[in-house]
Copies of this chain bind each other. A is one copy, B any other.
Amino acid sequence: MAIRIFVTGGTFDKEYNELTGELFFRDTHLPEMLSLGRCRIPVKITTLMMIDSLTMSEQDRAVIARNCMKAKEKRIVITHGTDTMIETAAVIAKTVKDKTIALTGAMIPYTFGSSDGLFNLGSALAYVQVYNPGVYVIMNGRCFEWNNVRKDRRAGVF
């Protein structure tokens, strides 16, 4: 069965606006990244929102959790800003019990050419195929259970 990928934005998908010099969101780069990785796992991609996770509201998290619940797939990857990834994982964990859900993200935008996103995406798609139901955070090559991880914002690692 296919893996569902829910896109929510985050550094993963940020782009540089050359007229204003600011970062912004347009479309997700997930299909391009999967193609670059020559990924042959069947996946279905749905963009739920395109936002910075610092601006994510409780209502946004509820939308994500509800979509995880409604999805037919038993294995789900969520791309998400790293700043509040753990908060969203906690909300999902309270709502969804019977699925393997992996949240992942990036420290550098994919479009800036030196992203950790491709590495994390490879990890997340591997872990999500193997682990038992639960909610996991996949960063830095590691897989954490949602209630056993925190972000060290000064170092930028989990």
- A interface residues, Cβ below 8 angstroms from B: 11, 14, 16, 18-19, 21, 23, 33-34, 36-41, 52, 107-109, 111-116, 118-127, 129-131, 138-143, 153-154, 156-158
Known: A118-B119, A126-B122. A18 touches B141 (CB 8 A): no
Contact of A38 among B127, B153, B157 (CB under 8 A): B157
Quick one: copies of this chain in the complex?
A: 4
A113–B16 CA distance with the chains assembled, in angstroms: 11
What's the least CB distance linking A119 to chain B, in Å?
A: 3
Chain B residues with CB under 8 Å of A14's CB are 21
* Contact call B39/A140, Cβ cutoff below 8 A: yes
Known: A21-B23, A127-B130, A130-B131. A37 touches B116 (CB 8 A): yes
